[in-house]
Amino acid sequence: MTSSMDVITTVLPAIALEQVIGAPQSEVHPLRLLASSLHQLLGNDEKSNYLPLTAGGGTAIFTTLKMVTAISRKLPRPLGWALDTALLYLILGPGRIAKMAENIKTVLSQRNREAARELLGTELADRDVSQMDESQMAEAVIELIAVQTVSEVTAPLFYYAVGGVPIALAYYYVNQNIEEAVADGDETAVRVREWLNFIPARVTALLMMVAAEIRHLIRSRHNIQGYVKRSQRLASQTTPMMAAWQTWRSDQDLTADLNSGQTISALAGGIGVKIGVVGASGRQPEAEDIRAAVRIMQLTVGLFVGLYGFLRLLKLWGSRDRE
């Protein structure tokens, strides 16, 4: 289980580490190397055994790391914190998401469509990007940010909060490695992924609404008091948070993946753009909207960590009161 100080000793250092040195390259990522080894074991019967071996891999990761973390508790505290930080770092990607999006935004702003398509193609291997125009590419990037904020940041942190590093890494491994089965239309894989991300996706969507409003306040350089006065004068004007809420309420179930629809609708409404069938009243996305999506993603991560830290403090205070 996690400790009362882990936001400071583990979560924030892991996020900072990923921001500074970047996410591990996929070719040498330990969990992806494990997945590759399992694929070789599957042989010609890969598809029929894919889910059982994925579950087996997740169980093996959980069991092994449970023993590792038990041993780490006997180490001096700084060494135990460092080990947890290094393991959590492996599955967090806010910096990678931001860098990916900013790189595509830069070449789109330069009207370099071919370079943008090449960068986007590495992220969307299952989609044809060759005929996408600038608006469609901006739309695809914003959609990626919405989806990956859950799968690469908030969901791993949610499972870390539930059961520490072992559960967080087991979740990440299973979630990443059922993608192929999901793409093949395997109903069991679809249901597993929906259940794994059910709570994280909805919490993230709600926090994105707040993040959209915070971004708006920062950009307009108004303090809270000034915002309240302005809201009283312009009560009929829809705020980014309200727009995100309205889009989420009306469009969250329009996507094929019900979890993805949570954050896609919240982000589309918060920016005021149309993403596929979501946000029909919004405008077509532009390159600058990618930066807005990145800022909202970063604020959402900050809010998620802050919420987790607050809940940890409440638990700590509650335990002290019982004593």
DSSP 144-175: HHHHHHIIIIIHHHHHHHHHHHHHHHHHHHHH
| CB-count burial class (<10 Å; 0-12, 13-18, 19+) for 164 | buried
Q: For 230-268, how does the pLDDT look when each residue is reduced to its tens digit (9 = 90+)?
A: 555 444 468 999 999 999 999 999 998 889 999 999 999
Burial 62-94 (b: 16+ CB within 10 A, else e): beebbeebeebeeeeeeebbbbbbebbbbbbbb
Q: What pLDDT is recorded for position 236?
A: 47
Confirm whether 212 is domain-assigned.
yes
Residue 206 CA to residue 202 CA, distance in Å, equals 6
Domain that holds residue 45: 6-322
Q: For 264-313, how does the pLDDT look when each residue is reduced to its tens digit (9 = 90+)?
A: 999 999 999 999 999 988 999 999 999 999 999 999 999 999 999 998 88
Confirm whether 1 is domain-assigned.
no
Number of structural domains (the chain) is: 1
Q: Greater confidence, 146 or 60? A: 146
pTM of the model as a whole:
0.86
Confirm whether 252 is domain-assigned.
yes
Confirm whether 269 is domain-assigned.
yes
Mean pLDDT, range 59-82, rounded to an integer: 72
